Chains A and B, each alone.
Chain A
Amino acid sequence: MFAEADAVLLARIQFAFTVSFHFIFPAFSIGLASYLVVLEALWLRTGRQVYLDLFRFWVRIFAVAFAMGVVSGIVMSYQFGTNWAVFSDRAGPVIGPLMAYEVMTAFFLEAGFLGVMLFGMNRVGPRLHFLATLMVGLGTLLSAFWILSANSWMHTPAGFAVNGDGQFVPADWWAVIFNPSFPYRLVHTVIAAYLTTALVVGGVGAWHLLRHRRMRARGGAPAGDDGPSLAGARTMFSMAMWMAALVAPLQILAGDLHGLNTLEHQPVKVMAMEGHFQSHPDGAPLILFGLPDAAAQRVDHAVAIPKLSSLILRHDMNAPLDGLDTVDPSLHPPVAIVFWSFRVMVALGLAMLALGAWSLLARLRGRLYDWPALHRAALAMAPAGFVAVIAGWITTEVGRQPFTVYGLMTTAESASPLDAPAVGASLLAFVVVYFIVFGFGTWYILRLMARGVQVQEPAPGGDEGPIRTAGITPGPAERIARRE
């Protein structure tokens, strides 16, 4: 009995670990793919060199992030079977086709056109190359569509029946795909990916702006790549700050709507997010901070604003809100985790909003490229998107415990009949391999980011060594530039 419980816990840790690692890469590559589409479109339209330089700069980073996403994603597609066989058997008829569509519409599209996007500029010319970039970008969005549909169905199952073998059988695919939480989750997640990328791009731009400032202060501006590199840093910083300023408020709105949707379909999750152990018949307070104590069913040292929670969730100060005391304790999610991860996400969201507002102010004053404190703030916020995405993910996934298919199938029921040693050993192997492999990937991406935007290499065979394949030939760019 004990060993069995342990195996489930280990399987959960393994899933959480591998999915969190995996999620980082698509969260970045969804936004980055769209950014590359925009950059290449701008380059084709205007012929300005700086857009091509930026494209070349970011496409290398995309290649590494995408490869990490693919290999960590293969693991995910098999883990349902290895660790969650009963879930696969019972929910497979609904979840499986959604994932099959993800593979057919998205993965092949991305992988098929990636080679051309990375290596094919001098083979197919700028127009077809742009088509390849567009297809890769489209692929990342389609992928988000299907996988979030599958994920949302597990939160708000709809359009199904249950057969004699206990399997969930699809009855209405439209209802399955567009299940109640899906539109909200899709919008919230895709915007999150865009914001994450904007913050990374902004952070890298800021870093280079600060570097140039330092070099100027020393009086030793290096000749040659200094000019375009500075232009590249400015352009990416400006584009990223526009994105942050416009999209951060939208994201807060989307998050609010998503929260209201959760209140409707998964009220227990919201109770955990809010730390509402008790019911509040006449207006619930908003607990800003505190230490949830699940055993005692209370939040210690709470700092709360009276009635505000009811105002946010019900748009009425005095509306009653149920607490966890109305729910059987065996159906409570781990409150402290949900409570804290939610606060981390919201705090970072507000910080992003502030950064965007600051950048608007800087623009207004004409100091966007000349305000070191803003650049330092943008640099500090560079990883904030990743942290917020993971925190939001934890909030929603831990918040639906103890279920995998909400209200219908528990996590404990879902697991494979495996011995704890098997799961434990594989977990250890995953941890070791992931830290080596993705440690390298992250280190390498950071190094690429630090290198600065290179001016177009004049002669083929620049610094790439054996992979000149990865270079995009200067031919088309120069042709277009000259035409101006």
Chain B
Amino acid sequence: MDFDIVTVWALLILFAVFAYVVMDGFDLGIGILFPALRPGRGRDQAINSVAPVWDGNETWLVFGGGGLLAAFPLAYGVIMTALYPPVVAMLLALVFRGVAFEARWRDPAHRPWWDLAFNVGSTVAAFAQGVILGALLQGIAVEDRMYAGGWLDWLTPFSLLTGASVVVGYALLGATWLVWKTEGETQARARRLAPLLGLGLLAGIVGVSVATLGLEFDYWDRWTRYPVVLLTAQVPLLTAILAYASWRALRRGRELAPFLLTLGLFALTFVGLCISVFPYVVPRALTIHDAAAPPASLGFMLVGAVVLVPVILAYTGWAYWVFRGKVGHEGYH
């Protein structure tokens, strides 16, 4: 295959979105699980486990958005306009959540309210991200390089289903993260919640997959055409294997494995999405080549990305390494 810079950028942005989902997924998940954690110590412990890294996690979202603008400006404009309400809801929820993060420490008199804001903000942000995913999969009307639909086209049972699935998925990431990073009662609670959330996520994955195959595009054909089916069938198979493995790991009291296996589940859903969508960026309306910025833009950025992304990953890894180990409710010692 020839070196195609457009495909490279599509993969880079996919990577950024995946990095975002992996990293902000668990800290949003902790927000979603907040009501299940004990007020006071349990919640402090959960918050402390993500405090040093959450700013960096959310930066991947900026990179995803900025990268989409830079590499696929047409798609960026069309998608953001079409999904205006869920995008705005996500942004506002993230604002609320980010500030509640600081505020619940600094303003103890109103901590129950800030905890609620953290919980609601996290849940709404996750739900909105899921809705955005669903709305993309079901397609966006494009005419003349502009969005050509109404402002509530995104709202369908399918997008609500993807929204709910992402909430459950993030909650599972959050729970398995807590199993890894905390101890005592918080860990025990997370360990009890994880299998339920895992079942929920599996139900979500199955539901979304089946519903996707029923959407009007050629999704069904893509997944079931022989001989492609021999490859695509591996995705659900691996999903089932990973799900079973993480359930076993939880039962055996493993601490890190459930989190990693959940990440594996998320990676598989990404592979599934690629099978459904590639080479489109707005399914069946714009391919990545239709939407791509000119080579002069992509090349200029690629030089930077090749050098900088590994550096970013290195120091991000270092920051996680500095704060390795279990977190106490009182902080690091």
Interchain CB contact (< 8 A) of A67 among B79, B102, B330: B102
Interface: A114 (CB within 8 A): yes
Interface: A286 (CB within 8 A): no
Give the docked Cα–Cα distance between A466 and B101 (Å). 13
Interface: A476 (CB within 8 A): no
**A 65-92 contacts with B by CB, 8 A:** 66-68, 70-75, 77-78, 80-82, 84-92
Give the docked Cα–Cα distance between A95 and B47 (Å). 36
**A 172-189 contacts with B by CB, 8 A:** 173
- Known interface pairs A67-B101, A77-B66, A100-B304. Does A440 touch B77 (Cβ–Cβ under 8 Å)? no
A residues near B155, Cβ cutoff 8 Å? none
CB distance from A394 to the nearest CB of B (A): 23
Interchain CB contact (< 8 A) of B105 among A80, A84, A467: A467
Query: By the criterion CB–CB under 8 Å, are B98 and A169 in contact?
Result: no
Query: By the criterion CB–CB under 8 Å, are B294 and A108 in contact?
Result: no
Interface: B331 (CB within 8 A): yes
- Known interface pairs A67-B98, A468-B331. Does A173 touch B300 (Cβ–Cβ under 8 Å)? yes
CB distance from A136 to the nearest CB of B (A): 10
Query: By the criterion CB–CB under 8 Å, are B297 and A85 in contact?
Result: no
Say which one of A116-124, A245-253, A290-298 lies at the interface with B: A116-124
**B 83-118 contacts with A by CB, 8 A:** 84-85, 87-88, 91-92, 94-96, 98-99, 101-103, 105-108
A residues near B308, Cβ cutoff 8 Å? 104-105, 108
Query: By the criterion CB–CB under 8 Å, are B297 and A96 in contact?
Result: yes
B residues near A465, Cβ cutoff 8 Å? 105, 108
* Chain A facing B: main interface SS: helix
A residues near B332, Cβ cutoff 8 Å? 119, 122-123, 469
A residues near B51, Cβ cutoff 8 Å? 115, 119, 467, 469
Give the docked Cα–Cα distance between A373 and B80 (Å). 53
Query: By the criterion CB–CB under 8 Å, are B62 and A73 in contact?
Result: yes
A residues near B73, Cβ cutoff 8 Å? 88-93, 96, 167
Which chain B residue shows the least CB distance to A461? B330
- Known interface pairs A71-B95, A433-B96, A465-B105. Does A82 touch B87 (Cβ–Cβ under 8 Å)? yes
Interchain CB contact (< 8 A) of B84 among A66, A75, A92, A422: A422
- Known interface pairs A71-B99, A119-B323, A422-B84. Does A78 touch B91 (Cβ–Cβ under 8 Å)? yes
Give the docked Cα–Cα distance between A64 and B53 (Å). 15
Interchain CB contact (< 8 A) of A92 among B69, B107, B296, B319: B69
Interface: A334 (CB within 8 A): no
Interface-central residue, B58, B59, B96, B319, by most chain A CB under 10 Å? B59
A residues near B296, Cβ cutoff 8 Å? 93, 169-171, 173
A residues near B81, Cβ cutoff 8 Å? 81-82, 85, 416-418
| Known interface pairs A89-B145, A93-B297, A116-B319; 10 further A-B residue pairs with C-beta atoms within 8 A, sorted by A's residue number | A71-B99, A85-B78, A96-B66, A111-B59, A112-B315, A124-B322, A167-B294, A419-B151, A430-B88, A444-B107
**18 sampled A-B residue pairs with Cβ under 8 A:** A75-B95, A78-B91, A81-B79, A85-B76, A92-B69, A95-B69, A97-B293, A100-B301, A105-B308, A119-B52, A167-B73, A416-B84, A417-B81, A417-B146, A417-B147, A430-B88, A440-B107, A468-B330
The 10 A-B pairs of least Cβ separation, nearest first, read A92-B73, A81-B80, A96-B70, A115-B52, A85-B77, A469-B331, A71-B98, A466-B44, A111-B55, A88-B77
A residues contacting B by CB (< 8 A) are: 63-64, 66-68, 70-75, 77-78, 80-82, 84-97, 99-105, 107-116, 118-120, 122-124, 135, 163, 165, 167, 169-171, 173, 416-419, 421-422, 426, 429-430, 433-434, 437-438, 440-441, 444, 461, 465-470
